[in-house]
């Protein structure tokens, strides 16, 4: 059991039902010693096995103690809050911000700010190199899938950091390089990304972990009085669409994309694989941009969410 990898098995809980073996989209689970073990060199940390394991034997690495240590260190720690928080928490933005500040965060910023920068940079790249196949680098599970299983298409990946990593860079530039950044979102693969880029993201926390931290601290965001606190350094809007399938494409359209590029949105590894098989990027009449997300329907259905049926209505229900 490698609890240092973002996804692992609690062997004592595994009942050998083989469901995770059957459902893993990259066959990164094998039976060893009578239990299903995650092969970290093949795993892309998509979290599918976590979502479908009936015994709860497949687990996501818990980083709440690491976050608690950061908050207790006396350093300035900023929460990079993914826009999909509205699908897991029913409170208002001021309630979630004040709750995070009570936990000890210096400030709360929207990861969507990084998403907006990524959209603008993506448009510039597409316009500078037309008639190319481009694949979004926003989903770390998709990025790992290409690197491990379709290396021939790695050159088609956008040479841009993900929205989370881009946001981390923005925050450190704004508040100082000694500022700590904690990404909070629905994604188990973001934990692997934070391991790869610790200079941009100190650690990544799931919404389920945040909920546990609130509960342990006796904080209930739903019952807090609304206050004047706001997202820092400024609020975002367009990037809030990113957690939905097709959201990045919509954000790019808002930023000025037109029929100069064909935009394709797809979710789940099997659908992404099916789309890519046989696709040639050297005979395109115009640029093709593929926005791919590993979770069905987008990040709103990520393995670290609290409510599994969140969608567009819940995402925008509390937006000012």
Model pLDDT, residue 280: 53
pLDDT tens track for 52-105: 999 999 999 999 999 999 999 999 999 999 999 998 999 999 999 999 999 999
Query: Do the first three CATH levels of 7-60 and 64-114+161-239+299-316 match, i.e. the same topology?
Result: no
pLDDT tens track for 250-281: 888 777 777 778 889 999 999 999 988 866 54
What secondary structure letter does DSSP report for 260? T
Distance linking the first and last C-alpha atoms of the chain: 45
pLDDT tens track for 191-201: 999 999 999 99
* Cβ-based burial of 4 (10 A; exposed 0-12, middle 13-18, buried ≥19): exposed
Taking the domains of the chain in order of start, what are their residue ranges?
7-60, 64-114+161-239+299-316, 117-160+243-293
Q: Parallel, antiparallel, or unpaired for β 287-293 and 133-135?
A: parallel
CB count within 10 Å of CB 12 equals 9
Q: How far is CA 46 from the centre of its chain?
A: 10
> Is the model's pLDDT at 2 over the cut of 60?
no
Percent of the chain with pLDDT over 70: 92
Tell me which of 257 and 36 has the higher pLDDT: 36
Strand order in the sheet with 287-293: 133-135, 287-293, 261-267
> 132 CB contacts (<8 Å, ≥6 apart)?
126, 156, 281, 284, 287, 288
- Statement: 7-60 belongs to CATH 3.30.70.20: yes
Cα–Cα distance measured from residue 143 to residue 141, given in angstroms and rounded to the nearest whole number: 5
Q: Which residues are registered as beta bridge partners of 35?
A: 32
Q: Which two tokens stand for residue 135?
A: 């694949």
The sign one gets for the Cα dihedral 221, 194, 123, 136 is negative
> Is the model's pLDDT at 15 over the cut of 90?
no
CATH class of 64-114+161-239+299-316: alpha beta
Lowest mean pLDDT among 77-86, 141-150, 240-249: 240-249
Q: Which two tokens stand for residue 127?
A: 């316009």
> 91 CB contacts (<8 Å, ≥6 apart)?
99, 221, 222, 224, 318
Q: Residues 230-241: what's their mean pLDDT? A: 83
Model pLDDT, residue 186: 95
> Is the model's pLDDT at 31 over the cut of 70?
yes
Helices within the chain (DSSP H only): 19-23, 48-52, 64-72, 93-103, 112-128, 140-149, 163-175, 189-196, 207-216, 247-254, 269-276, 312-316
């Amino acid at each position: 059991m490698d609890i240092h990898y973002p996804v692992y098995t609690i062997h004592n809980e595994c009942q050998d039902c083989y469901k995770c073996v059957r459902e893993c989209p990259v066959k990164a689970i094998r039976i060893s010693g009578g239990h299903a073990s995650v092969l970290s060199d093949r795993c892309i940390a998509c979290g599918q096995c976590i979502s479908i394991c009936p015994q709860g034997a497949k687990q996501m690495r818990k980083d709440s103690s690491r976050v608690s240590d950061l908050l207790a260190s006396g350093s300035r720690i900023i929460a990079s809050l993914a826009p999909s928080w509205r699908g897991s928490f029913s409170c208002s933005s001021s309630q979630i911000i004040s709750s995070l500040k009570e936990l000890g965060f210096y400030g709360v910023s929207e990861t969507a700010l990084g998403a907006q920068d990524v959209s603008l940079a993506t448009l510039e790249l597409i316009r500078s190199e037309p008639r190319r196949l481009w694949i979004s680098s926003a989903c770390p599970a998709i990025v790992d899938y290409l690197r491990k299983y379709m290396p021939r298409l790695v050159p088609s990946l956008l040479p841009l950091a993900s929205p989370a990593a881009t946001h981390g860079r923005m925050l450190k530039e704004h508040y100082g390089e000694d500022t700590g950044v904690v990404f909070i979102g629905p994604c188990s693969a973001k934990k692997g990304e934070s391991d790869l880029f610790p200079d941009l993201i100190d650690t990544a926390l799931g919404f389920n972990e945040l909920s546990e931290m609130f509960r342990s601290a006796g904080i209930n965001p739903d019952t807090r009085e609304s206050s004047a606190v706001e997202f820092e350094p400024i609020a975002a809007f367009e990037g809030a669409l990113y957690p939905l399938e097709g959201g990045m494409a919509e954000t790019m359209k808002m930023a000025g994309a037109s029929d100069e590029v064909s935009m394709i949105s797809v979710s789940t590894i099997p659908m992404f694989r099916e789309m890519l098989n046989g696709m040639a990027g050297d005979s395109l009449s115009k640029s093709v941009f593929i926005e791919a997300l590993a979770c069905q329907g987008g990040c709103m259905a990520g393995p670290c969410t609290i409510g599994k049926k969140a969608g567009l209505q819940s995402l925008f229900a509390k937006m000012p």
